[in-house]
Amino acid sequence: MAMTQLTTQDLTRIVAAQGLPTLLARLVDYLEADFRRWPEFDKSARTAAHSDVGVIELMPISDASDFSFKYVNGHPGNTRLGLSTVVAFGVLADMRTGMPSLISELTLTTALRTAATSVMAAKVLARKDSRSMALVGNGAQSEFQALAFHHLLGIDEVRVYDVDPAATDKLVRNLAAAAPALRVVRSASIAQAVRGADIVTTVTADKANADILTPEMIEPGMHINGVGGDCPGKTELATGVVAMASVFVEFEPQSRIEGEVQQMAADFPVTELWRVLTVQAAGRRNAAEVTLFDSVGFALEDYSALRLVRDCAIELGLGHEAGLIPDLRDPKDLFGELAAAPAIARLKAA
Are domains 4-108+301-342 and 127-297 of this chain identical in fold?
Answer: no
pLDDT at residue 350, rounded to an integer: 52
What does the pLDDT average to over 213-234? 92
Q: Which fold has domain 4-108+301-342?
A: ornithine cyclodeaminase, domain 1 (3.30.1780)
- H or E element, residue 58: strand 55-62
Specify the CATH number of the domain 127-297: 3.40.50.720
List residues bridging with 77 in a β-sheet. Answer: none
| The predicted structure's pLDDT at residue 328 | 87
Query: Where in the chain are the domains?
Result: 4-108+301-342, 127-297
Residues labelled as active-site residues? 230
Q: What is the pLDDT of residue 119?
A: 98
Burial class (CB in 10 A: 0-12, 13-18, 19+), 330: exposed
- Quote the pLDDT of residue 339: 79
Q: What pLDDT sits at residue 347?
A: 52
First to last CA, the chain: 35
Q: What is the pLDDT of residue 316?
A: 97
Residue 74: pLDDT band with limits 50, 70, 90: confident
Residue-averaged pLDDT of the chain:
94
The CA-atom distances, in angstroms, between 314 and each of 63, 221, 265, 310 are 22, 43, 47, 6
pLDDT tens for 103-139 read 999 999 999 999 999 999 999 999 999 999 999 999 9
| Residues above pLDDT 70, as percent of the chain | 97
pLDDT attached to residue 124: 98
